[in-house]
Amino acid sequence: MLMPILQIHSEDMPAYAIVCGDPARAEKISRKLENARELAFSREYRTFVGEYEGIQMAVVSHGVGSPGAAVCFEELIRAGVKTLIRVGTAGSYTADYPAGSVIVSTAAVRSDGLTRQLVPDGFPAVADIDVTSALVAAARETGSGEGEAVSGEAGTEAGAASFTGVGATKVGVGITVTLDAFFTGVEEIPHRKYKQAGALAAEMEIAALYIVSTLRGARAGAIVAIDGFADSDLAAEYDPHTDAVAKAVEHEINAALRALATLARQDQATR
């Protein structure tokens, strides 16, 4: 069956997928797959399939923002994808996780408009526990390919989070915030409250991924590379193109590929 917006056929789709905002990042990830081939590049949605450690998987870009990303998640699940991992970037809420860190998202604050049109207020946007465990383990074991292992305790305003990582990348685990607005207008975004409540970072699609996956019976997780501070003046300071961010993106890609392969092997063993 042809998916009308992504322009992919369900017959070509594996059960496992990595999703990311940027079509160029999808291409970069696809270069780590064996026998990679591009299935379609329709609007912002670029789809590759290939193998990693012998497991068939897809890599698909979903663009910026929840409404467009949700279209991608819906069509992927309709096409037969059952496990999705988002590999994104985010702004940090704490100096303990500066640019160059990575964070595994356990749940997302639904500060977006899209999910309000899908489920009632108060319905939680949570990651799948198995996907999250696999991602945390993989993020702690893998790296960008350079550096020594690091570990320790990081204090957030609401409590403490432990971190370990390889390649000098700090790995945080916790709640992220999904916003619609990237640049600010005249309304204040309640960054200070999210921070005080213990959220670690903000981005723009994870809540949509968790809600669509929950609604449609798929499982999902997410990992983000930190590219600055969410509550800084993004119009003046945002720079996702530094070496530190590139290393963190490399780290999260390696972690996501390893986590998906681990989950697929676990599924094969229990079938």
Ligand X SMILES: O=P(O)(O)O[C@H]1O[C@H](CO)[C@@H](O)[C@H]1O
Ligand Y SMILES: O=c1cc[nH]c(=O)[nH]1
Six-digit token string for 124: 């939680």
Distance (Å) of CA 215 to CA 124, 219, 260: 11, 10, 21
Site membership for ligand X, residue 22 (CB under 6 A): yes
Closest CB to ligand X among 68 and 165?
Answer: 68
Q: Which residues pair with 254 in a beta bridge?
A: none
Compute the least distance from the CB of residue 64 to ligand Y, in Å. 8
Which one among 30, 47, 83, 89 touches ligand X, defined by CB under 6 A? 89
Site membership for ligand X, residue 21 (CB under 6 A): yes
Residue 91's SS3 state is: strand
Site membership for ligand X, residue 221 (CB under 6 A): no
Closest CB to ligand Y among 200 and 263?
Answer: 200
* Residues at the contact surface with ligand Y, assessed by CB under 6 A: 89-91, 182, 202-204, 227-228, 230, 234
How far is Cα 187 from Cα 171, in angstroms, rounded to an integer?
A: 32
How far is Cα 22 from Cα 145, in angstroms, rounded to an integer?
A: 22
Compute the least distance from the CB of residue 234 to ligand X, in Å. 9
143 interface partner picked from ligand X, ligand Y, none, CB below 5 to 8 A per type = none
Site membership for ligand X, residue 96 (CB under 6 A): no
Compute the least distance from the CB of residue 138 to ligand Y, in Å. 22
Six-digit token string for 68: 């467009």
Q: Are the C-beta atoms of 46 and 100 separated by less than 8 Å?
A: no
Q: Are the C-beta atoms of 76 and 10 separated by less than 8 Å?
A: no
- Contacting residues toward ligand X, per CB under 6 A: 20-22, 64, 88-89, 182, 203-205
